[in-house]
Each structure stands twice: as structure tokens, then as C-alpha cells.
Chain A
Amino acid sequence: EVQLVESGGGLVQPGGSLRLSCTASGFTFSSYSINWVRQAPGKGLEWVSYISSSSSTIYYADSVKGRFTTSRDNAKNSLNLQMNSLRDEDTAVYYCARPGIAAPGADYYYGMDVWGQGTTVTVSS
């Protein structure tokens, strides 16, 4: 079964750090880019970051640039999101999601057909 599973969420104080993980199974992880998408309580979807299959291309939303870092380990079929200097507004469910095609440069134009179940991050004092 094609699957993405997030972990690492929890409660953290403002200004603190947290590291999320996303583990893949059922497909050739090293061939696909991955996106991080978050959803604040009662709000819509917000894109956070994109990392290409080889890690050569990484993009961030302006709201997290300079604070969040995405990385991946294709040998371990895993992806990480290091979140520093956390703010109240970073409180959300964080999803990792895979585009529907394994094609560097073309996957931008495809929808995300595999999503994890999400992990909850709460930033509060």
C-alpha cells in the first residue's frame, strides 16, 4: 500500500523548536518530490515547503522561510521538517503529500495524490 506517515508533532512553547518526520512506504520514495502542507484549526490548507527527489531543489512559503528547514534521506525513505523559532500561528496539522508523478520539474504541475494522516503541532505557552 502506498503510504506516508507523519510523526513528531506535539506541544511546544513560542520560540521553541520541533522536528517532524514523514516516512514513506509502498512506492519508490527516491523518485518523488514531497510537499509539506499545514492546516490551522478551522482554517484552510496552506503550503509550507517543497523538496525535490534529489534534494537539489527546495522551496519554502514566505511565512516559514528562514525558520523551517526541509531535508530528506532517500536511503531511509524519510523526510524531515525542522521547525525553529515557532510562533503561535504555526499551530496546525502538518501533512506531507506526494505529487502524482515522478518527474523532476514536471511534478509542479500535478496534484498531490498521496497524503499522510497528519501530525498536530501546538505552539502555546
Chain B
Amino acid sequence: SYELTQPLSVSVALGQTARITCGGNKIGRKNVHWYKQKPGQAPVLVINRDTNRPSGIPERVSGSNSGNTATLTISRAQAGDEADYYCQVWDSSIEVVFGGGTKLTVL
């Protein structure tokens, strides 16, 4: 089955840029989605199909996908960005696959 690999944690200073990676075999050929989840809350879609922001998601949140790595980039990090982030793809083995999740800490 297909696997997605994310770092367990990423730290970023307030106002700086955070990058969260999601690794997978030839992931650049797949559509990658990113979710933000705060404790006790349901996940929220923040990036759809590699680069598309749903309504209400600020422009400082962006995504890219190429080769074996997809990346979620959060510019000008704020305290409210602190959360767990998950990448997700649909694999041809007929399943939805999530990455293990990355805890973002804003210092």
C-alpha cells in the first residue's frame, strides 16, 4: 500500500515561514490535499489538489507538489497556525491515504 511520510514536528518563529513536507513515491503524479487540525476539533481542508486554497484560507498558506515531495508552506506564521497538519492522497489501490501528521509549533 502507498505510504506518506511527514516529519513529526516542525517549529517556526513568529512571523517566519514554516514548511511541512509530505514524502511519497512519485507523489508529484498524485493530487495532494492538506488538513489543519486543532486539539478537540475536526480537520479543516487548507489546500486542495496540490495548490488550491478553499475559501477562507489566507493567501499566506500555499502548497506545491513535485517529484517525491509535496510541501505545505505557511508564511508569516501566527500563533493561530499552531496545529497538527496532515497530507492526504487517493491511491490507485483504492484507498484514501493520510500522512502521519506534523505538529507545528510557533515559537
* B97 contacts partner chain A, Cβ-Cβ < 8 Å: yes
Q: How many A-B residue pairs have CB under 8 A?
A: 64
Other-chain residue from A44, A62, A108, A116 in contact with B42 (beta carbon distance below 8 A): A116
Task: With A100-B45, A100-B48, A115-B43 as known contacts, state yes or no: A59 contacts B94, CB within 8 Å.
Answer: yes
* A32 contacts partner chain B, Cβ-Cβ < 8 Å: no
Residues of B55-107 at the interface with A, using a CB-CB cut-off of 8 Å, are: 84, 86, 88, 90, 94-101
Chain A neighbourhood of B95, CB < 8 A: 47, 59, 61
Complex CA gap A100/B45 in Å reads 10
Complex CA gap A113/B52 in Å reads 12
Complex CA gap A50/B44 in Å reads 19
Chain A neighbourhood of B97, CB < 8 A: 47
Complex CA gap A109/B45 in Å reads 14
Chain A neighbourhood of B48, CB < 8 A: 100, 110-111, 113
Chain A neighbourhood of B43, CB < 8 A: 37, 45, 95, 97, 112, 115
Complex CA gap A112/B84 in Å reads 16
Chain A neighbourhood of B98, CB < 8 A: 37, 44-47
Chain A neighbourhood of B49, CB < 8 A: 109-111
Complex CA gap A115/B45 in Å reads 9
Main secondary structure of the interface of B (DSSP, over half): strand
Residues of A11-69 at the interface with B, using a CB-CB cut-off of 8 Å, are: 35, 37, 44-47, 50, 59, 61-62
- Pair A95/B42 contact, Cβ less than 8 Å: yes
B-binding residues in A (CB < 8 A): 35, 37, 44-47, 50, 59, 61-62, 95, 97, 100, 108-113, 115-118
> What are 22 contact pairs spanning A and B, CB under 8 A?
A37-B43, A37-B96, A44-B99, A44-B101, A45-B35, A45-B43, A45-B88, A45-B101, A47-B98, A59-B94, A59-B95, A95-B42, A97-B43, A110-B49, A111-B33, A111-B34, A111-B35, A111-B45, A111-B49, A113-B54, A115-B43, A115-B44
